[in-house]
Chains A and B, each alone.
Chain A
Amino acid sequence: MRLNHLFLLSALIGALTFFGCGDDDNDEVTLRMQFEHKFGSEDAVYGSVYEIDGIAMRFDLGMFYCSHFTPKDDSGDAITSFTDEYILVRADEPTIHEIGTFNAKSVKGLGFRIGVESSVNHGDPANWTSPHPLSSQSPSMYWGWDNGYIFFKFEGRVDTDEDGEPNAPVLYHIGKDDFFELVDISVNEATVDGVMDVIVTVDYEKLFTNIDFTVDRVNHTNIESLHIATQLAENWPSMFE
């Protein structure tokens, strides 16, 4: 009988030691995100002109929502998920977005989505207090009807008369429940003093893959050109690294 008790006690101590050691290996990490906006290798700056497939394109506006942040370990498994965090990225505002704090041994990947989930998408921006990203924005990121939030907004001008000067407006206001696209990037940044700053590069040139942007220049996610909106949304994941 006494031997049994001794055995159980040893097993308990062993188990506590084992699991306790596992916790000690994890560090508290505060994940933050910054975005670098590019056209290829060049910095994307409002008012600047870039060449895409030899055609001049002026960049006037780039804004998009990100949400559902999921840091991943070296096996690609989710460490945790921040489903209540939303950020609005503006290409003209270098901002450090704090996502959340969690325990992890290492972070090797990050998943997030472009846009907001359906239950939030059809809510009322007036229910969010400024400066929350989902509150009213200027420029607006919400349609005044049931389509909800504009997930991704790109505006600029493109050269359509082949004189090298961007002349015709390009407006892509894309958003729809089905376009809640998943982005997966690898993370190589180190944690410094408990903070991991993940630098995400956004390449707007890749937005135009399989898009004839001299013809299909304006898209508000309308039924007449839904295939273009769908292609633009499908291009989002490849824009980020």
Chain B
Amino acid sequence: MKILLLASMLVLGLAGCASPPETRPLSERQNLKVDPEVVYTMAVTELFEKRLVQPGGDTLLQVQFAVEARSDTELAWKVTWFDDSGMVVEGVGEGYRKATLVTGQVRYFKATAPHARVTSYQLHLREPK
């Protein structure tokens, strides 16, 4: 009986010492990723984020960015959302949103996280083919 008790305590102790699963990223993720082709035609002039307080007390991450066009151009953008452990949180759709900009125009775009557990994001800007 005593041996069984000791064995159980040893097992429990070992389990407590077990290392947590590795969640190290392979490379640092950037919040903003802009393709080189886009840089020629426009500039990202602002990138804001804030947490929207919901009536029930939850908060949702919201991102707003502004782009200023140097020439008439088209833009495709997409926000990928991540939780605290770096796992992707699925949004409504997975496609890029498209926008048209005229020379000199500054446009503001907003995206709201699909769940309160979202803590970070990656915004990707590219030129549609």
Physical interaction between A and B: no
